[in-house]
Amino acid sequence: MIIQFLLKYELNLRLRFSKRTIGNYRDTFLLVFRFQEDELKKPIAKITMDTFSIEFIQGFLTWVEDTRGCSIATRNQRLSAIHSFVKFVRFRCPEHLAVCNKILEIRFKKTAEKTVNYLTVEGLRLLLKMPNQRTKQGLKDLALIGLTYDSGARVQEVIDLKIGSFLWMNANVISLFGKGRKERKVPITQETVNIVNAYIATLPPRIKNDPNHSLFFNKQGIFLTRAGIGYILKKYFQKAKVLEPTLFPEGISPHALRHSKAMHLLEAGVNLIYIRDLLGHVSVTTTEIYAKANPEVRRKAIEKLAAHIITEDKTSSKDKEDLTAWLKECV
């Protein structure tokens, strides 16, 4: 049953979800097998649907969190994969309905709210000055960092970009394919378009004329990984931080560029609904984390509200004198 589930979801996930999601499903069941062997001292070959009792799953989750030292977020991630598996089983093997329903009742643990890590406008400007545009590598790195920020894209969305995304671009709008392979069209500035096109112009003809070739790739011609993009970003982040340490947080990740884009739009007064659509969030509730995390946005909102509530005192001087005299008579 596990093999059937993985094979089915392998095909469906390739069509509907990211490679990262596929990897999470795979890794969860590899850990389940390890838990069976290392902790329960039972061979993998003996795993059956009867193995998946609620006690087994709860023991596995405790092992993931306590023995392996994983975070609550990782524990919840493993539980999510198991929930998908038992839903698969529930509709194909009704005889296991009772135990599947019990496993589905296992709740996700609450996690502490993460701090939104982002750059100020001044910090971003300095960061973008670090790559040397006079070199091919510097121009490529600037195109990568600038496009990631300007589009507000997820890292995987940047990795999946092709040369054709720009060769056939219309009206400075680029198509991104996010979670669930949902396409969204995102506007980017003419400056970003010029930088990316200048980078493409430096590529060998066989690459720049191939619309299906990865837009960003390593020296071997293979698309960049998350770690690769993170390495490039941190290299320039560290240079910029040496120059102006007060402008930058302790560390940075590619996702911080996405956070930065959202924060800068919010500070500029852009509506949350528009920011939601730009980032590809399903619900505006997800986008609201930026409003909660930015004290400057809250301050401006309070000042705007106060401007409507606090009105100018139009009482005349004579009225005030009459009121003062009346109060003295009442004492």
83 is annotated as an active-site residue: no
Query: For residue 84, with 0-12 CB atoms within 10 Å meaning exposed, 13-18 middle and 19 or more buried, which class applies?
Result: middle
Q: Are 230 and 141 in contact (CB under 8 A)?
A: no
Max distance between CA atoms of the chain, in angstroms, equals 97
Q: Is 103 helix (H, G, I), strand (E, B) or coil?
A: helix
**Of these residues, 154, 241, 264, 276, which one is catalytic?**
154
Q: Are 143 and 195 in contact (CB under 8 A)?
A: yes
| Separation CA 211–CA 255 (nearest Å) | 26
DSSP alpha helix (H) spans, 63-135: 72-92, 97-104, 121-129
| Separation CA 260–CA 152 (nearest Å) | 8
90 is annotated as an active-site residue: no
**Of these residues, 179, 226, 234, 300, which one is catalytic?**
179
Task: Supply 65's token pair.
Answer: 């969190």
281 is annotated as an active-site residue: yes
| Separation CA 267–CA 263 (nearest Å) | 6
Q: Are 262 and 152 in contact (CB under 8 A)?
A: yes
255 is annotated as an active-site residue: yes
Q: Which long-range contacts (CB under 8 A, 24 or more apart) does 136-139 make?
A: 136/202, 139/195, 139/198, 139/199, 139/202
Question: Could you tell me which residues come within 8 angstroms of residue 109 by beta carbon, excluding any fewer than 6 positions away?
Answer: 72, 75, 76
Q: Are 112 and 37 in contact (CB under 8 A)?
A: no
- Amino acid, res. 70: C
**Of these residues, 140, 241, 264, 281, which one is catalytic?**
281
**Of these residues, 75, 140, 241, 258, which one is catalytic?**
258
| Number of neighbouring beta carbons within 10 Å of residue 61 | 19
264 is annotated as an active-site residue: no
Q: Which uninterrupted H or E stretch holds 184?
A: strand 183-187
**Of these residues, 9, 118, 236, 290, which one is catalytic?**
290
Give catalytic residue positions. 154, 179, 255, 258, 281, 290
